[in-house]
Each structure stands twice: as C-alpha cells, then as structure tokens.
Amino acid sequence: MIPGGGQPNMQQLLQQAQKMQQDLARAQEELARTEVEGQAGGGLVHATVTGSGELRGLRIDPKAVDPEDTETLADLIVAAVQAANENAQQLQQEKLGPLAQGLGGGGLPGLPF
C-alpha cells in the first residue's frame, strides 16, 4: 500500500456527498420557484409551469374560444402545457445536470436525471 494514499479519505467523501446533497436541494428549491412558459396556437394559449413541472397558470386569448369547437381549444391547451413542461425539463437539465455529473454521471437512484 502507498503510504498516505491508496484509499480515499472517508470523511472527505462524506463531506463531498453532503455538499452535493445540499447543492441538489438548493437547485430543486430554485426550480420550484422558477416559472417557465409554453404557448400554442401562435400565442392564443399560454401555460405557465414551475421548473419542477407544476402548472401555475393558463392564459387563453378570447379569440381561441369557439363554443362550436371546444376540441381545438382543448388541443391548444394540451400543446401549451406540453411546451411549458418541455421548457421546464430543459431548465431541470441546466440546473441539475452538472450535479448529476458530479455524482459520476449516473445520478442517484430514484432521482429524475
């Protein structure tokens, strides 16, 4: 065995793991506070979600409302929410991706990255 080396310092590894856990918790809190938007129908429908994917708001232009065609409005709403969620997922990758790489690239079991 190499003197003073060979095995990693367990205390140092634990401190690094704790710091990564704190960084992850901070990033998740920031995602929960950050809002992103998606739209559909050329801006007729806007959906707002948090960076963690929680739907916070839905804005519908009156021009999108046709009582004879509620199916199209429903499709626009779904498309806007999907677009907002895609933006939220991109934000998650930006915020959590570097932390996952710090964990060896594989992340932790049970975490969505």
Across the chain, what does the average pLDDT equal?
A: 84
What residue segments make up the domains of the chain, in order of their start?
Answer: 36-102
Q: Are 29 and 95 in contact (CB under 8 A)?
A: no
Residue 21 has pLDDT above 90, yes or no: no
pLDDT tens-digit map of 28-43? 888 889 999 999 999 9
End-to-end CA distance of the chain: 37
pLDDT interval class at 1 (50, 70, 90): very low
Q: Are 47 and 38 in contact (CB under 8 A)?
A: yes
Of the candidate CATH numbers 3.30.1310.10, 1.10.10.10, 3.40.50.300, 3.40.50.970, the domain formed by 36-102 belongs to: 3.30.1310.10
Selected residue with higher pLDDT from 15 and 60 = 60
